Amino acid sequence: MKTYLVGGAVRDELLGFPVQDKDFVVVGSTPEEMVAAGFRPVGKDFPVFLHPKTHDEYALARTERKTAKGYKGFTVHASPDVTLEEDLARRDLTINAIAKELDGASALESGKLIDPFNGLRDIQSKTLRHVSDAFAEDPVRILRAARFAARLSEFSIAPETITLMQNMVEDGEVDALVAERVWQELAKGLMEAKPSRMFDALRACGALQKILPELDRLWGVPQSAQHHPEVDTGVHIMLVIDYAASHNYSLSVRFAALLHDLGKGLTPADVLPRHIGHEERSFSLVKEVCKRLRVPNDCKELAQLVAKFHGKLHQTLQMRPSTLLGFLVELDAIRQPARFRDFLLACESDSRGRTGFENCATPAADLMLKVLDAAMSVDAGAVASAYTEPLKIKAAVFEARLDAVKLVLD
pLDDT digits (tens, 9 = 90+) for 119-170: 999 999 999 999 999 999 899 999 999 999 999 999 999 999 999 999 999 9
The verdict on whether omega for the bond into residue 273 sits within 30 degrees of 0, i.e. cis, is yes
Q: What is the pLDDT of residues 58-85, one digit of tens each?
A: 999 988 765 555 555 556 777 888 999 9
Q: List, in order, residues 6 or more apart from 405 with CB less than 8 Å away.
A: 321, 324, 325, 371, 374, 375
44 or 238, higher pLDDT: 238
161 residue type, one letter: T
248 residue type, one letter: N
Model confidence band, residue 110 (pLDDT cutoffs 50, 70, 90): low
Q: Read off the DSSP letter of residue 356.
A: T
Residue 70 Ramachandran class (φ > 0 left, ψ -120 to 50 alpha, else beta) = left
191 residue type, one letter: M
* Structural domains of the chain in order of their starting residue, each with its CATH number: 2-125 (3.30.460.10), 126-211 (1.10.110.30)
Q: Measured between alpha carbons, how far apart are the two ends of the chain, in Å?
A: 77
Query: Per-residue pLDDT for 392 more than 80?
Result: yes
Strands of the sheet containing 57-60, edge to edge, are 40-41, 48-50, 57-60, 23-27, 2-6, 99-101, 113-114
State mean pLDDT over 347-374.
Answer: 96
Helix boundaries (H) for 171-296? 179-190, 196-205, 207-211, 213-216, 233-246, 251-259, 278-293
Model confidence band, residue 102 (pLDDT cutoffs 50, 70, 90): confident
State mean pLDDT over 269-295.
Answer: 96
Q: List, in order, residues 6 or more apart from 344 with CB less than 8 Å away.
A: 313, 362, 365, 368, 369
State mean pLDDT over 366-385.
Answer: 96
Alpha-carbon dihedral 380, 385, 389, 394, rounded to 10 degrees: -10
| Predicted pLDDT of residue 253 | 98
| Predicted pLDDT of residue 380 | 94
Query: Per-residue pLDDT for 104 more than 80?
Result: no
For the chain, how long is the longest CA-to-CA vector? 80
Q: Read off the DSSP letter of residue 378.
A: S
Q: 364: buried, middle or exposed (CB in 10 Å: 19+, 13-18, 0-12)? A: buried
